[in-house]
Amino acid sequence: MAGLGRMGMRHARNLATRVRNADLVALCDPSSETRARAASELGVADTYSDYAALLRHPGLDAVFLATPTSEHAEQIIAALDAGKHVFSEKPTSLQLDQCKRVEAAAARHPRQKAMIGYVRRFDPSYRDAYDKVQKGLIGTPFMVRSQTADLNDPSGFFVQYAAHSGGIFLDMSVHDIDVARWFLGGPAAVRVYATGTVAVHEGLKSVGDLDNGIALCEFANGKVACFQASRTMAHGHETLTEVVGTQGRLTIGANPRLTRVDIADAHGMRNECTPTFYERFEPAFVEELDAFVDAIAQDRALPLTLADATEATRIAIAIQASIRERRSVEL
């Protein structure tokens, strides 16, 4: 496991205790303090400050990356060239050419598995909806509306990172884009348009970013998607996807309830909501790694390809261009 920040530690804990057929054997992080703490908690003897050294760890089969996005592409390629299977947190890269380099590296190593962590594809509710669509429950799906909305952080901590995030759609909407393509059968995107606003975090204006955005995407076969991203929700994290078909509609996550508890009190009838994406997708992160490890063990095809990951980035980049240029952008 490389990258032992908050998300990296979650993956590491899952690998250590919950993922079938995986042994967590080595850790990598630039911070010695972080390495020591993680090694102790996870019961892993071997740690590395240097990623290249990690790749030389004896008997290593697969590498898992939760490093900064800017390092993903190089590290994926290095892992592949070192003969390792590799799983990386999304996205592949904020640059399209880097995504393409990763795809090329994978093509050079066809026996090795490489997957970007588009975790929703492994979430039980998304899978249930996908299976229902495949079985024809809603006829032919033709529109997806998908939203990622985060609980507002009043400190505006993320504003300082905005200059390097690629913009709200690249940062937040690639999951939604991937999900839309998945449900619609992977059609080619032909045109996007987006708008949005700075509702709360004025600091975003200086870098041309938004705290609430909405985008439309047209696909070659007449299918349509709408993506919404927000950093300013009052009630919690809300990931919601609507799949509209000719004979029905599926909605995943209409109420982002945290538990099965309903409260009837002076505030009305209510339920608490998932504070972050992790409470929402916690089991899916285990399913995701299980699926990746099982695909290696059984040499099975992965349910999502590097090309899928690249396409999510490509569409998000076009959406960001639409924001900058205030016009629709052809793909």
For the segment 156-195, give every residue that binds a copy of itself (CB under 8 A): 191, 193-195
For residue 17, the minimal CB distance to a copy of itself (Å) is 6
The secondary element (H helix, E strand) that includes residue 213 is strand 212-219
Q: How far is CA 118 from the centre of its chain?
A: 4
By CB under 8 A, the residues from 95 to 134 that bind a copy of itself are: 124-125, 128-129, 132
Please state at what angle helix 96-108 crosses helix 306-325, rounded to 10 degrees: 170
Cβ closest to a copy of itself, residue 10 vs residue 18: 18
Q: At 191, give phi and psi (nearest 5°).
A: -160, 140
By CB under 8 A, the residues from 204 to 263 that bind a copy of itself are: 212, 214, 216, 218, 222-224, 226, 228, 230, 232-236, 238, 244, 246-263
For residue 255, the minimal CB distance to a copy of itself (Å) is 5
Q: Which residue has the tokens 């952008």?
A: 329
Q: Does 90 bind a copy of itself (CB under 8 A)?
A: no
170 neighbors 91 (Cβ within 8 angstroms): yes
By CB under 8 A, the residues from 261 to 300 that bind a copy of itself are: 261-273, 283
Cβ closest to a copy of itself, residue 94 vs residue 243: 243
DSSP string across 109-151? -TTS-EEEE-GGGGSHHHHHHHHHHHTTTTSSEEEEEEEEEEE
Q: At 41, give phi and psi (nearest 5°).
A: -65, -40
3-state secondary structure of 225: strand
Residues 11-30: x where in contact with a copy of itself by CB under 8 A, - otherwise, as a string = ------xx-x----------
Cβ closest to a copy of itself, residue 51 vs residue 281: 281
